[in-house]
Structure 1
């Protein structure tokens, strides 16, 4: 009877050793190659256009922000993102919005999308801050760009990530100039 147990023990031991080796290989692969990583997203205001500004006889403002959103995907799988939403705010109130359709960044690749946001002059003029800032000729705006999506590695390992990039820009409409944008980025993983 002891002779029958010996081949069974050897077989079970070999299967256990193979399972341990496979687990070690998959763990090493996960931590070195397959581990999902969040994408790196940056958004910058690459240009502003002031085509009209007047306070008298009636207020007029034609202002457009050009925002470039760049994403780098460090994963070995494509990163699929939903609609990219860019909102322009004047003292916290939304005065313009642009939506870029959903898309995909390939594995270990970069992509850039651009959004053009036209500012709603009526919203700016109705702000209680506008009379003083309009006369002073300096209008502070904030752009906020949101990107959210997921990467799926081997159809099993998933990572969801979202990024919000906020930029502050002061527009001098009389001189048709702007300050360099000051941007901050926040990434949420999970």
Structure 2
């Protein structure tokens, strides 16, 4: 009886130690390797180079085509997001809505997607600082998006997540160059 009880205690002790080690390893991996990291998002406006600033007084809307690159190379999990809408702002006012279609960003991969925005020229040129910006030589826009979806690890672990992105887009009037700088954050 005593040896049977002692064997049971040893077995329970080994099992508990094993479970603690597995929990510690999984926790360590979660906070290092498996923890979702911010994807790198870049917006490339296409077509603004063809726009003459003085011709915008004669059009109602300007269609701005965009290529959006989501680089997920730092994550071991894929990210599948639902249809979303990004908003383009000029000096605090929304001047365009950009539809972003449902898609999957593969683990350690990259996704290029294209979309377009109809810039509401009337809202831009009626802004009190528009002519000051033209005189300064650049128009600065901000695009914001919230992509709601799921992070998938090993195809069986699914975690709800939202990728938030803010892109500052600067259009140089003289050179007609467009530059964008994006920052992203992921919320679990």
| Partner SS for 2:163 | strand
Alignment RMSD (CA, Å) = 3.2
Partner of 2:95: 95
Contact 2:36 2:77 in 1 (8 A): no
What are the ranges of 5 or more consecutive residues in structure 2 without an aligned counterpart? none
Contact 1:39 1:71 in 2 (8 A): no
Contact 1:80 1:103 in 2 (8 A): yes
| Partner SS for 2:179 | coil
Taking the TM superposition and a 5 Å limit, the aligned residue runs for 1:3-42 are 4-32=1-29, 35-42=34-41
Residue 171 (structure 2) pairs with residue 189 (structure 1): no
Give the Å deviation of 1:114.
Answer: 2.5
Task: Flag the 1:5–1:161 CA change in 2: closer, same or farther, 3 A.
Answer: farther
What are the ranges of 5 or more consecutive residues in structure 1 without an aligned counterpart? none
Which one is further off, 153-162 or 63-72? 153-162
Partner of 2:159: 158
Task: Flag the 1:106–1:124 CA change in 2: closer, same or farther, 3 A.
Answer: same
| Partner SS for 1:99 | strand
Contact 1:73 1:110 in 2 (8 A): yes
Partner of 1:43: 42
Give the Å deviation of 1:96.
Answer: 0.9
Larger Rg over CA atoms: 1
Give the Å deviation of 1:93.
Answer: 0.8
Taking the TM superposition and a 5 Å limit, the aligned residue runs for 1:103-114 are 103-114=103-114
Aligned residues: 183
